[in-house]
Amino acid sequence: MTVKYLYPLYDLDDLKPQDEFTVYTGPASQKYEAAIFPTAASTATRSALKLWICDRSNRQLASVILHETALGEISYPEIDMEPDDEFDEIFVVTHLLHAAMLTARFQGYVYVVADRDADEFTSGFGQTSTCFDFDAGLSVKERMLADQENADLILPLDSFQPSTRPLEIHTDSGIVEVRVPYASERLLLVDWVSENFGRGWAAEVECAFATPARPTVVVAMYKRDTFPLPEEHVAGFVTFDTSALGMSTAIAVRKDLRNLRVALAIGQRLGEEMAARGYRFAIRGGVARARLIPLRTYPQMHAIPRSDPGFFGRSVRS
């Protein structure tokens, strides 16, 4: 796990067609589809995708696998060219990796993770990686990137064990459950979020319920019938896989509950839910100065350089 390389996909240029080459896509072998239970338990298949580039005679020159060992991860290219090949190796592999990263972007990802850097190729289309050593023991200050007003954050999910049981927080007013919401709670949540946090975040919640069967939102809710009014039961929430795959919003908690471990419990369940869907890393998008709190909570969490304004800083305010 220790060292990983992260590639941003926010501003990829379009791929220029090449008469000499064709890039194909198809399913990877079954070994890339497998995962150890309960990782990816809530995902029918990881859908690992192989991309390979061929010349005009259909001779394979190189290949790469997307979602190789987990969602949003990319393999180092496997090169099949001979040393005296007529084609330039750098040019061929650059074209292939550009196609692979554009594929990930079209699928809805804004980052991909790799075990080793391929900057000698990706620099050809303006992409360079950021290296993260998650076990380096860096201080909060070193991981904060204080010169950035907002920053995306990356967190390994190795320590998160997927679970379907709600987390419980005992408060003076009753028990708060942290869980995935029921479909019948959708309108309640959308209205509550819109009133308390704005229409932009309400749209994220609405989008989270579009996922079949299991919404991509985690909520903190008082147990049923704790209060007279339904909206009094909502305590906080976070969404993921809405604006981008593998990315969550910041965690939002009701003002009167912000010092009662609610945000910590939502973050715990968020990590469990994302691990259950086949991710090994979670991205939190566009977190402002309040990122100091999760950086203190998770020693392996890092702010991502050059991620301001990030994904959420580009849309029209709602």
Same domain (yes/no): 279, 230: yes
User: Is the separation of the CB atoms in 239 and 272 below 8 Å?
Assistant: no
User: Is the separation of the CB atoms in 54 and 60 below 8 Å?
Assistant: yes
Identify the domain containing residue 184 by its residue range. 140-303
Same domain (yes/no): 129, 153: no
38 confidence band (pLDDT: 50, 70, 90): low
Looking at residue 212, what is its pLDDT? Answer: 74
* Domain's final residue, options 133, 161, 184: 133
**For the segment 283-312, what is each residue's pLDDT rounded down to a tens digit?**
999 888 889 999 999 999 999 999 987 767
Same domain (yes/no): 190, 95: no
> Under 8 Å CB-to-CB from 40, ≥6 apart: which residues?
46, 70, 71, 276, 277, 278
* Inside any domain, residue 317: no
* Inside any domain, residue 318: no
User: Is the separation of the CB atoms in 21 and 53 below 8 Å?
Assistant: yes
d(CA 58, CA 228): 69
* Inside any domain, residue 283: yes
Same domain (yes/no): 208, 69: no
d(CA 165, CA 169): 13
**45 versus 99: which is more confidently predicted?**
99
* Domain's final residue, options 133, 156, 179: 133
Looking at residue 63, what is its pLDDT? Answer: 96
Q: What is the 3-state secondary structure (H, E, C) of 167-181?
A: EEEEECCEEEEEECC
Same domain (yes/no): 295, 148: yes
Same domain (yes/no): 126, 157: no
Same domain (yes/no): 86, 153: no
Residue 33 has pLDDT above 90, yes or no: no
Same domain (yes/no): 160, 108: no
Backbone torsion region of residue 225, taken as left when φ is above 0, otherwise alpha when ψ lies between -120 and 50, otherwise beta: left
Same domain (yes/no): 66, 160: no
**For the segment 202-228, what is each residue's pLDDT rounded down to a tens digit?**
999 999 999 877 899 999 999 999 999
User: Is the separation of the CB atoms in 125 and 13 below 8 Å?
Assistant: yes
Q: Please report the DSSP string for 2-30 in residue order.
A: -EEEEEE-TTPPPPPP-TT-EEEEEEPPG
**For the segment 114-170, what is each residue's pLDDT rounded down to a tens digit?**
999 999 999 999 999 999 999 999 999 999 999 999 999 999 999 999 888 999 999
Amino acid in position 284 = R
E-strand stretches of the chain: 3-8, 22-27, 49-54, 60-66, 78-79, 111-114, 130-133, 151-156, 167-171, 174-179, 217-222, 234-239, 247-248, 252-253, 281-287, 302-303
* Inside any domain, residue 202: yes
The number of residues in the chain equals 318
**For the segment 41-86, what is each residue's pLDDT rounded down to a tens digit?**
565 445 789 999 999 999 999 999 999 888 999 999 999 998 888 9
Q: What is the 3-state secondary structure (H, E, C) of 179-224?
A: ECCCHHHHHHHHHHHHHHHCHHHHHHHHHHCCCCCCCCEEEEEECC
* Inside any domain, residue 308: no
* Inside any domain, residue 250: yes
User: Is the separation of the CB atoms in 281 and 157 below 8 Å?
Assistant: yes
* Inside any domain, residue 310: no
Q: What is the CATH number of the domain that holds 125?
A: 3.40.630.30
**For the segment 158-180, what is each residue's pLDDT rounded down to a tens digit?**
999 988 899 999 999 999 999 99
- Between strands 130-133 and 3-8, the pairing is antiparallel
10 CA to centre of own chain? 13
Same domain (yes/no): 125, 164: no
d(CA 215, CA 180): 7
Helix (H) or strand (E) holding 96: helix 89-107
* Domain's final residue, options 102, 133, 164: 133
Same domain (yes/no): 174, 36: no
Same domain (yes/no): 238, 162: yes
* Inside any domain, residue 233: yes
Number of domains observed in the structure of the chain: 2
Q: Exposed, middle or buried by CB within 10 Å (0-12, 13-18, 19+), for 9?
A: buried
